[in-house]
Chain A
Amino acid sequence: MDKDLEKLSAFYDGELSRVEMQEIIKEMDSDEKLKNTFHRYGVISELIQRHSEKQTSKITHFQNYYRKINPVITNIATAAATVLLTLIVLYQLDEDRFQVNKETSLQLSSAISSDQAKLQLLNADQNIMEHMIQIMQSNQSNNSQKVSKNWIPVGFSVNPNNPNQYSNGRNNLFFHLENKQLGIKQVKYFKAKNNWIYLIPLKDGRLLTAYGDIPPSIADQMIQSIYQRN
């Protein structure tokens, strides 16, 4: 039965051969349980995708507020602000991932609920914002410490022109390691256009910043591995 259900799951994802697909469709025709399960796969998908969209919607809402309440930043540094305004601040709407600090999500809730609170949140995290802008703008390893080879995800190799940049041929990842933690106690991640920025506080007091087109679902494993080896 599990084999049938596994096949059903692969059918749902459009991953069966034509013959296998015809077999499972035939089975579904006479098996209400299979039909019901298939439908539930659809319900689960809809739920997950809607939650994923809801997060984006909350983020956009926050971005719009950000523009309104902190116009100064756009005047100070246009280039930086352009980057900043495209930052999708995920503070952490997905609070379970990376064992994210609950306080931060509460901060976001309160930030959304009052302009005063928003200003406080933004001021509190000014250093973090500046740090990320610096990383995104330079992408160079000038003041970065050497990154341990053990932290590099499987399949990635170093760029010969930049010792802190790694690629697996499809995705790129840039590391930056400094002796500061900016008050970050747990992993935070942000999205800027198609890239993600991960701020990873290490046990020895340093801050590892990883920047690249690696989504959280993949970065999660990398971060767990870094913590195991640090």
Chain B
Amino acid sequence: MGISKGDEMLIAEIKADNEMAFEAMILKYRPKLMSVLIGYTKSRDHAEELCQKTFIKVWQKIDTFKGESSLFTWIYRIGINLAKNDFASSSSKNSKITESLEQDQHDVPEYRSPETELIAVESEQKIMKFIQNLDADTKTAFTLRETEGRTYDEIAEILDCPIGTVRSRIFRARQLILEFMNQENILNG
């Protein structure tokens, strides 16, 4: 899968030295990258360090990104290569971890990112249940976007409704989830 139009524009902004665009990219992809790195390193601190190194490398190498893969896949590969190098040079090399790195798979493991670590498992279940109980229109649009990565255009076609409706349904889902998290005091502070 190649780069999405949205990420392509974001990259163009980053290449034009727009620092806030770069920060937006970090805010967007950090939770997912951390989740992957914690899964591999089994250490939150180590993952945090690798995550920082990854984004520094992303900033340095952004001009070499050709858009042949999705942006996250590219970030992910940089993170994984850094982790591989790290393990190779480490005296406490762990063959099992190296093995898992060799697989180079784009999986999101069960490990939780530091952000979501702050959410108790029970609260996580509550959020998932809340999402399931959203009204059908809102839930369908949101699920198609989040779990299937469909574009607004595709969702509009599937649901036979205008793109503007898709956009507002997805926004509504996010708003309701954030409101629910606030009500339940999840991730506050």
Contacts and interface: CB of A to CB of B under 8 A. Distances in A.
Interface of A: 2, 5-6, 9-16, 18, 21-22, 25-26, 28-29, 35, 37-54, 57, 94, 96-97, 154-155, 215, 217-218, 220-221, 224
A217 B142 CA distance: 9
A52 to B, nearest CB: 5
B160 A217 contact: no
A43 B115 contact: yes
A96 B133 contact: yes
B9 A21 contact: yes
Contacts of A51: 124, 128
A13 B148 CA distance: 12
Interface in B4-42: 4-7, 9-10, 12-13, 18, 20-21, 23-24, 27-32, 35
A48 B147 contact: yes
B116 A221 contact: no
B27 A35 contact: yes
A221 B138 CA distance: 12
Contacts of A9: 167, 170-171, 174
A5 B108 CA distance: 28
B168 A29 contact: no
A172 B9 CA distance: 34
Interface string B117-144: 0010000100111011100100110011
B35 A46 contact: yes
- Chain A CB within 10 Å, residue with most, of B4, B7, B20, B148: B20
A217 B27 contact: no
A5 B171 contact: yes
Given A13-B6, A220-B140, A49 B187 contact: no
- Chain A CB within 10 Å, residue with most, of B4, B29, B116, B143: B143
A42 B167 contact: no
B13 A21 contact: yes
Interface residues of B, number: 59
A37 B187 CA distance: 12
B170 A13 contact: yes
Contacts of A154: 160
A10 B174 CA distance: 11
A25 B170 contact: no
A6 B171 contact: yes
A45 B31 contact: yes
Nearest to B34: A46
Contacts of B115: 39, 42-43, 46
A5 B124 contact: no
B30 A42 contact: yes
Contacts of A43: 31, 113, 115-116, 119, 187
Contacts of B146: 44-45, 48-49
Given A13-B6, A49-B146, A220-B139, 7 more contacts: A6-B167, A14-B9, A15-B167, A35-B23, A43-B113, A217-B143, A217-B148
Nearest to A171: B158
B98 interface: no
Interface in B135-166: 136, 139-140, 143-148, 151-152, 158, 160
Given A42-B30, A49-B146, A217-B140, A13 B178 contact: no
